[in-house]
Amino acid sequence: MSLLDVSNVSKSFSTGRDLLGRPKQRLPAVHDVSFTLDRGECLAVVGESGAGKSTLGRMVLRLIKPDTGRIMFDGVDVLRIGAAEMRRLRQRMQMIFQDPHSSLNPRMSVAEAVAEPLLVHTDLDRAARNRRAAELLDRVGIGRRYLGRYPAELSGGQLQRVALARALTLNPSLIVCDEPVAALDVSVRAQVLNLLRDLQEELGLAYLFVSHDLALVEVIADRVLVMAAGRVVEQGTVGQIFQEPTEEYTRRLLAAIPVPVPRDASGQRMLDATRS
Ligand SMILES: Nc1ncnc2c1ncn2[C@@H]1O[C@H](COP(=O)(O)OP(=O)(O)OP(=O)(O)O)[C@@H](O)[C@H]1O
Ligand SMILES: [Mg+2]
């Protein structure tokens, strides 16, 4: 049994309202997408901007509810369970985002941010929580001396490591990584990627790894899901997709030269430089 088994999920968003307050139009963001992900495996989701990658990642964690389809996580039908069971399941599926500034609470110290999931989900006492936070900070390469710091005092790479430590607090088996290194300096990118790979191996983590950067995908992923306009164009192993893509769309993606895309503070693209 796969860790994650997604079948035929679709999601449409309505685009604003007309003068009478009726939703104008339902635009499909994700249409009839199916895939599986095994324990310890990394599946990359690639495709141009607006392809539906983030929507798909969020649906897997039930942060967005699909209109139709089924999502099985470790044999549990994620869309049919109640809130209490979902809370328990959430411990095992985590997400890290492109912009750690927005995913970490600026008023929480690093220690509080990393230990918070323990406060919410376990009855460990304060000392035990802090011990675990210290271990995790050591593990992600920041070091426990940063426990008392606040997000504003850390670099982007350090913040992403803190976000990762927080994601690891409850020993997840799946992490959805949505462009986790896209906002980082090129020099820091490789370090955070290496950390992700080491952790994957050490902890048997599975990643659903959303990325624009195909050079990076080739390094980190086992398999690749190519999306365009909400649909799966093709999927296969890294070898298949990179060496013998069957679809013209994939060939165009592969041919595009990766250019760093400038982002503003909220992580939005400042201009679309992804197309050559
Ligand atoms: N909350 C929302 N309300 C309305 N439309 C949305 C919402 N979220 C996403 N969409 C639309 O769904 C489509 C897919 O968006 P999504 O964010 O999943 O794309 P993406 O592949 O992650 O793009 P990017 O690479 O730019 O991050 C887009 O057309 C987007 O405008
Ligand atoms: Mg996205």
- Residue to probe by mutation, ligand 1, list 10, 11, 12, 13, most atoms within 8 Å of CB: 13
Closest CA to 212 of 191, 189, 240, 195: 189
Write down the pLDDT at residue 266.
Answer: 60
Q: If pLDDT is split at 50, 70 and 90, which confidence band does 173 have? A: very high
Write down the pLDDT at residue 265.
Answer: 58
Closest CA to 214 of 177, 182, 262: 182
Q: Round to whole Å and give the CA distance between 42 and 217.
A: 10
Paired tokens of 228: 């365009």
- Residue to probe by mutation, ligand 1, list 9, 30, 48, 54, most atoms within 8 Å of CB: 54
Q: Round to whole Å and give the CA distance between 240 and 223.
A: 9
Q: If pLDDT is split at 50, 70 and 90, which confidence band does 110 have? A: very high
Q: If pLDDT is split at 50, 70 and 90, which confidence band does 275 have? A: very low
Whose alpha carbon is nearest atom 18 of ligand 1?
Answer: 52
CA of 41 to the centre of ligand 2 (A): 21
User: For strand 93-96 and strand 174-178, is the pairing parallel, antiparallel, or unpaired?
Assistant: parallel
State pLDDT tens for residues 38-88.
999 999 999 999 999 999 999 999 999 999 999 999 999 999 999 999 999
CA of 50 to the centre of ligand 2 (A): 7
Helices (H) and strands (E) in the chain, counts: 10, 10
Give the position of tokens 């927080």. Answer: 166
Report percent pLDDT > 90 for the chain. Answer: 80
Ligand nearest to the CA of 58: 1
- Least confident stretch, 30-39, 80-89, 224-233, 263-272: 263-272
**Pocket of ligand 1 from Cβ distances under 6 Å:** 13, 29, 47, 49-55, 212
Q: What is the dihedral of CA 267, 137, 197, 4, to 10 degrees?
A: -80
Whose alpha carbon is nearest atom 31 of ligand 1?
Answer: 50
Paired tokens of 54: 């983030």
Q: Directed axis angle between helix 126-139 and helix 156-168, to 10°?
A: 130
Q: Which segments within 82-230 are labelled E, that is strand? A: 93-96, 174-178, 206-210, 223-228
CA of 225 to the centre of ligand 2 (A): 14
CA of 272 to the centre of ligand 2 (A): 13
**Contact (CB, 8 A) for 181 and 193:** yes
State pLDDT tens for residues 187-202.
899 999 999 999 999 9
**Contact (CB, 8 A) for 200 and 174:** no
Give the domains, in start order, of the chain with CATH numbers.
37-66+82-92+174-276 (3.40.50.300), 105-171 (no CATH)
CA of 29 to the centre of ligand 1 (A): 6
